Amino acid sequence: MQDIYQMIAEYREQGLCTLATVMEGEYIGEKLLICQGEPVCQTKENGLLQRHLDELKAIEESGIVKLDGIRVFAELFGGTARLVICGAGHVSMPIIQLGKSLGFHITVLEDRPSFADHARRAGADTVICDTFENGLLQVEGSSSAYFVIVTRGHRYDTLCLKSIIEKKNAYIGMMGSHRRVAMVKAQLEEGGISGEMLDAVHAPIGLAIGAETPEEIAVSIMAEIIQCKNQKKHTEGYRDEILDALNFKNAGINQVILAEIMERKGSAPRNIGTKMVIGQDGSLTGTIGGGCMEAEVIQAARQMLANDASDYQIKEVDMTAASAEEEGMVCGGTQLVYLEKRCRS
């Protein structure tokens, strides 16, 4: 049977996935992975989850459900969030830097070699130096692809938007004045693109915060993208560094603990589906919120690593009024954190 986390790495870019995890009882730790409506991997034959496959397929929002009275965490997620930037002018540089700091994979398209070099130096993961038309032929759309059009001219905007709007996407934004945006949309509508599709484009791009400098414009753009991303009813999924840790890409580590938030109440800092991995060597990958809450979880994980008898644990972390105030925390609420021990095979 193939490993569940290796299968997640293989399937997450192909479309929306659902990972169901049994949180308690006889079947604790059982997992079932569904991709685009079809089961692709399970950790137990004829277990609880297989019996409720139709119910799991129908779930549209991440969270805890009950199957036969047993709590199951159903997590909906897609692939790695990808930011595709058309144009590598002065506004693009802070977008690249801010996008990288927020965990996006950054692809930049630029037809001028010297400007493409600027994008590389700014930290873009992939830079395609070609015509925008040819470059966009090399970029696939997906439900986790966020497109930003910040080219140097009206005709390039038109060309990029015409190509991008036909691709699957999570977001399309285009920079420009209201007049320039109207010209591009009118031209494309005359060419047969529906007004409904064009109305879904965020243009002028970014939240209206009165941004003026390239850095401020980048903040307004990324704020709008974050707003769109976080309106979805699925989690941040499995980032590359989390999967690398779970699949033991780090030499010398034979045991890790996956800690994942499965329930949040009140104003706890991170949402459900947020993950971190604690290694037997003391290494930490990711964060579930920091502070004393995270410290409690790390301590519990280290105890699990030292105790062969415990492979799973549910830990409730209380950050409400008294304890939060005592620790100097500004947030309250509770989090239910699931801890799972994983050993190198």
Sign of CA dihedral 35, 40, 44, 49: positive
Contact indicator for 268, 334 with CB cutoff of 8 Å: yes
Q: Note if the pTM is more than 0.85.
A: no
Domains of the chain, each with CATH number or no CATH: 4-77 (no CATH), 82-229 (3.40.50.720), 240-343 (no CATH)
Residues 6+ apart with CB under 8 A from 255: 279, 280, 305, 341, 342, 343, 344
Contact indicator for 202, 171 with CB cutoff of 8 Å: yes
pLDDT (tens place) for every residue of the chain, 345 residues total: 469 999 999 998 888 899 999 999 999 999 999 998 999 999 998 899 999 999 999 999 999 999 999 999 999 998 889 999 999 999 999 999 999 999 899 999 999 999 999 999 999 999 999 999 999 999 999 888 999 999 998 889 999 999 999 999 999 999 988 888 888 899 898 888 998 999 999 999 999 999 999 999 999 999 999 999 988 778 989 988 999 999 998 778 999 999 999 998 877 778 899 999 999 999 999 999 888 889 999 999 999 999 877 899 999 988 765 455 555 555 567 899 999 999 988
DSSP annotation of 25 reads G
DSSP annotation of 155 reads H
